Amino acid sequence: MLETISADLNAANLGAFQQSMRHLGYVEGQNLVIEYRSADGDANRFPGLVAELIHLNVDLIVTRGTPAVLAAKKATSTIPVVMASSGEPLLVVASLARPGGNVTGLSTVNPDLVPKRCWFPGWRASQPL
């Protein structure tokens, strides 16, 4: 798992992930090992952290955040990479419908909300932005 923040600061998300994995039959210490790597807020650390995970011969890399998934994608084309969240998924995958390659996952981008995020008083939908 490749994260921007430490496991302590990410305890709620990590706990939810572990609980969901248990629900699917994967129990840490029995049939699941989570190698958690944190950049501690410094995106420049991601390439080295990804290299550590690759050296450990992990089966899958779960990332959160665009910088983490970009580093993972650049480092490997063979290990599956799952974006737990990415604000800019189209920087990483060919399309949301068919990501291609070894990267897939979730995005915080919702195309239906884009016009609402761009709305401002006096703007009409018929006007170009």
Q: Which residues pair with 127 in a beta bridge?
A: none
Q: Are strands 2-3 and 37-38 parallel, antiparallel or unpaired?
A: parallel
* Whether the Cβ atoms of residue 53 and residue 71 lie closer than 8 Å to each other: no
Rounded Cα distance between 107 and 12, Å, is 19
pTM of the model: 0.79
pLDDT for the residue 129: 47
Specify the 3-state DSSP secondary structure of 107: coil
Q: Say whether pLDDT at 37 is over 70.
A: yes
β-pair partners for 61: 81
Q: Give the model's pLDDT for residue 121.
A: 55
Q: What is the pLDDT of residues 50-84, one digit of tens each?
A: 999 999 999 999 998 899 999 999 999 999 999 98
